[in-house]
Amino acid sequence: MSVLTQSLPYLAKGALDTVVMAALAIAIGSVLGLGLGLAAGSRSTVVRGAIDAFIFVTRGIPVLVIMFITYYAFPAVGYRVSSFAAVTVALTLYAAAFYTDVMRGALAAVPRGQLEAARSLGIARIPTVFHILLPQAMKSSIPPWLNTSIVIVKSTSYAAIVGAWELTYAAKEIVERTLATFEIFGAVMAAYFIICYPMSLLSRRLEKRAAIVH
Amino acid sequence: MDWWLIKLRLIASIYPQMLEALGVTVTIAALSLPLAVVLGVVIAVLRMYAPKPVSALIGSWIEIMRNTPLLLQMFMLYFALPMLGWRLDGLYCGVLAIALQHSAFLAETFRGAIETISRRQWEASRALGIADSTAMWHLILPQAAVKVAAPIGNQLIILVKDTSVVSGIAVLDLTLTGKIILERNAASFEVFLVVASFYLALTVVLGLVVRWIENRTRAMSA
Amino acid sequence: MTAMIEVRNVVKSYGSLEVLKGVSFDVGQGEVAAIIGASGSGKSTILRCINFLENFQAGTIRVGGESVGYDLRPDGARVPQNDKTIARHRQEVGMVFQSFNLFPHKTVVENVMCGPVLAKGMARQEARTIAEALLAKVGLSDKLDSLPANLSGGQQQRVAIARALAMEPKVMLFDEVTSALDPELVGEVLRVIRNLAQDGMTMILVTHEMHFARDVADQLLFFDGGRILQQGAPRDVLDHPESDRLKAFLRRFSEANYL
């Protein structure tokens, strides 16, 4: 047990890095996802196609590979960024692809009649989106948004493979040194669990509530 | 112009290694999925029909597997198994970790499929005088199997991407091979674009297979 | 004198399926036109063409003298109108839907205010005054701050009518507005429509309410297979059907409704 108590400060720092990485990716990714999700309603096939391609490619490859790409791409084009920054950029792009799909789906799921009612009143496209479609889409987008956020939090652990220091990396360091496998990894798993499980519960409760209404 | 030729030559030279690495990735996926399906069925059945304490324990295990990172679970196995006396090769360790995590997700899918098979199916078979266990084996499970075919396919697509996690324990899959090639040849990130294209190809093919399964099974589910 | 609504030879297809095969009729100012027919006959479609919720491949539609959806060039070619023009036309044509389509996240009064505020840029206070007056007219002053989900079908439909009226349209289109209502709620909605007719609103009603059509409409049109098979005064059309199809339609109708 004492290995764990001795390591707590070190692990806590790792946890902080993990939380910051996840928070940045989720926040920026969500904003991008909202913007691109709205753009996906565009009448231009070029815009829709580009967004489709972005989602398809980004979700079709492992997040670890995206992390490696950014990790080596930055220096290759002349920017010296920390591994933490490179990995966070990768995670943000990955998150954005998922969030875009969520928003796009939520907007499309608003009943057609709503759009027709707004159009027949003579309301222009942009006010229709912001005042009529978006408020209704937000509600249904929360469970999938939560599910995506859980995936992002878990994906921060891949940073350890790329070499960016965070909670999983710190845990591995300690275990390699002390072989206190169960205590250390157990504690770290508990840490991830404490962050993710409440989100999972909330998501399922909201989904159940939505199912009852219909 | 020169620059492009160098890139193309590099890409051509790494293709043999990449194909070998592709084999490793596909092998891991091919071993993990059946194991995950079998484990998933077992876990789902235990969750639904075992006595309360066992069912609750299984439920907790499912939640833990779903809410902690795969990489961490794999490290746990990789470091813990030797301590318990098992010397497991990196590849099989990865297969086990991946199968365990995906079995938790599949168990929930299976549970949902069995539970939502219309109550009327049960009533119809009972009205015909068919025993519950016979009905389960011959009527309910086949319908559930049809229902979960497409979700298993989708889970496979995620699983293939998850195989990249074995790079963390020095298994030469597509991702780790890419990294080694890059370091050995002092090449640039384009190597990983090639790696990405391999994964994308797998995703596309599997996606088409899933779509085909969905089309074939649509008419068969009640 | 040009009629308020002029429909000339409108043709509409969905891909290879032709749903309107050359439809023409006029509705004069202050007139009420009722459209009857089986489902798939094109009756809802022509309504949706008049406020350009659907496009159409040939023909012209004029509301208040202005062409809707397309401008005609001197050489006869059709030019699609831009979004702004179409929105402007839609403000002059009020539509009420079978499924009400109220905005669930807004209160009753906010629903009625939506058109003036979001489409005309009216100040909220002014819009609210108009909304309150209209809701009083349809008999819902006590439900101003309720959410649509807490209202009955008949109440929701009356809100929908008030919402359309808030834009001060020249013309009102009613697309089977009582078909989705429980029978005991139909009367309150028909009462509102009748009052509107008596106030002189130009209207087209797609409806199954034959009694109502006979009472309130100035002309009745029977749609079948994308064409108008008979039109005229309701009494004439209903009592003296000329085609076998209309006879069959009316017969099926009386069987189903003990007319």
Encode pLDDT of A161-209 as tens digits.
998 999 999 999 999 998 888 889 999 999 999 999 999 999 999 988 8
> Minimal Cα–Cα distance from A149 to chain C, Å?
26
Give the highest mean pLDDT range of B79-83, C70-74, C184-188: C184-188
- Return d(Cα C241, Cα C249) in angstroms, integer: 10
> Minimal Cα–Cα distance from C164 to chain A, Å?
7
C11-14 CB contacts, 8 Å cutoff, 24+ apart? C11/C56, C11/C57, C11/C58, C11/C59, C12/C42, C12/C45, C12/C46, C12/C49, C12/C54, C12/C55, C12/C56, C12/C57, C13/C57
- The pLDDT of residue B27 is 95
- The pLDDT of residue B141 is 77
Q: A116 — contact with chain C (CB < 8 Å)?
A: yes
In chain B, which among 100-159 make CB contacts under 8 A with chain A?
Answer: none
- Return d(Cα A17, Cα A157) in angstroms, integer: 11
CB–CB of A122 and C103 under 8 A?
Answer: no
The closest CB to that of A122, out of C91, C99, C101, belongs to C91
Helices C124-137 and C153-165 pack at an angle, to 10 degrees, of 130
- Looking at per-residue pLDDT, the higher value among B87 and A67 belongs to A67
The torsion region of residue C64 among left (phi > 0), alpha (psi -120 to 50) and beta comes to: left
Q: Tell me which chain A residues have a C-beta less than 8 angstroms from the C-beta of C98.
A: none
**pTM, two decimal places:** 0.86
What average pLDDT does range C110-129 have in this prediction? Answer: 94
Read off the pLDDT band of B11 (50, 70, 90). confident
CB–CB of A113 and C83 under 8 A?
Answer: no
DSSP per position, C158-197: HHHHHHHHTT--SEEEEESTTTTS-HHHHHHHHHHHHHHH
- Return d(Cα B157, Cα C130) in angstroms, integer: 56
Give the structural domain span for A21.
2-213
- The pLDDT of residue C81 is 92
Q: Tell me which chain B residues have a C-beta less than 8 angstroms from the C-beta of A175.
A: 75, 79
Summarised one tens digit per residue, pLDDT across range C190-220 is: 999 999 999 999 999 999 888 899 999 999 9
Residue C215 token pair: 């009472």
What average pLDDT does range C94-111 have in this prediction? Answer: 95
Closest-CA residue to A107 (of A203, A204, A39, A28):
A39
CB–CB of A185 and B83 under 8 A?
Answer: no
Q: Tell me which chain A residues have a C-beta less than 8 angstroms from the C-beta of C167.
A: 121-122
DSSP per position, B126-194: HHTT--HHHHIIIIIHHHHHHHHHHHHHHHHHHHHHHGGGGGGGT---HHHHHHHHHHHTT--THHHHH
Closest-CA residue to B167 (of B180, B179, B176, B178):
B176
Residue A79 token pair: 């920017």
Q: Is B123 exposed, middle or buried (0-12, 13-18, 19+ CB in 10 A)?
A: exposed
- Return d(Cα B69, Cα C229) in angstroms, integer: 69
Residue B194 token pair: 């090639």
Q: Tell me which chain A residues have a C-beta less than 8 angstroms from the C-beta of C163.
A: 117, 121
How much of chain C is helix, strand and coil, in % rounded to 5? 40, 25, 35
Residues 6+ apart with CB under 8 A from B221: B143, B146, B147
Share of chain A above pLDDT 90, in %: 80
- Whether residue C259 is predicted with pLDDT greater than 70 in this model: the reply is no
Q: Tell me which chain A residues have a C-beta less than 8 angstroms from the C-beta of B179.
A: 68
Query: What does the mean pLDDT of chain C come to?
Result: 92
- Return d(Cα A179, Cα A4) in angstroms, integer: 11
> Minimal Cα–Cα distance from A51 to chain C, Å?
24
Share of chain A above pLDDT 70, in %: 99
Structural domain total, chain A: 1
Sequence letter at residue B60:
S
The closest CB to that of A120, out of C90, C99, C118, belongs to C90
- The pLDDT of residue B134 is 81
CATH of the domain at A54: 1.10.3720.10
Summarised one tens digit per residue, pLDDT across range A96-142 is: 999 999 999 999 999 999 999 999 999 998 999 999 999 999 988 99
CB–CB of B72 and A168 under 8 A?
Answer: yes
ipTM for this prediction: 0.90
Are 3 or more Cβ–Cβ pairs between C and A shorter than 8 Å? yes
Find chains touching chain B: ≥3 CB pairs under 8 Å. A
Are 3 or more Cβ–Cβ pairs between C and B shorter than 8 Å? no
Q: Tell me which chain A residues have a C-beta less than 8 angstroms from the C-beta of B164.
A: 62, 64-65
CB–CB of C115 and A114 under 8 A?
Answer: no
Nearest CA in chain B to A185: B76
- Whether residue A214 is predicted with pLDDT greater than 60 in this model: the reply is no
The closest CB to that of B193, out of A62, A69, A179, belongs to A69
Residue C139 token pair: 């008999």
- Whether residue B222 is predicted with pLDDT greater than 60 in this model: the reply is no
Which positions in chain A have a beta carbon within 8 angstroms of at least one beta carbon in chain B? Answer: 57, 60-66, 68-69, 71-73, 76, 150, 154-158, 160-161, 168, 171-172, 175, 179, 181-182, 185-186, 188-189, 192-193, 196-197, 200
Find chains touching chain C: ≥3 CB pairs under 8 Å. A
Please work out, in degrees rounded to the nearest 5, the angle formed at the alpha carbon of residue B92 by the alpha carbons of A183 and A193. 35
Residue A99 token pair: 């969030």
Q: B61 — contact with chain A (CB < 8 Å)?
A: no
Interface test with A, best of C118, C147, C165 (most A CBs within 10 A): C118
Summarised one tens digit per residue, pLDDT across range B177-219 is: 999 988 888 778 888 998 999 999 999 999 999 999 888 887 7
Q: A117 — contact with chain C (CB < 8 Å)?
A: yes
What average pLDDT does range A77-85 have in this prediction? Answer: 90
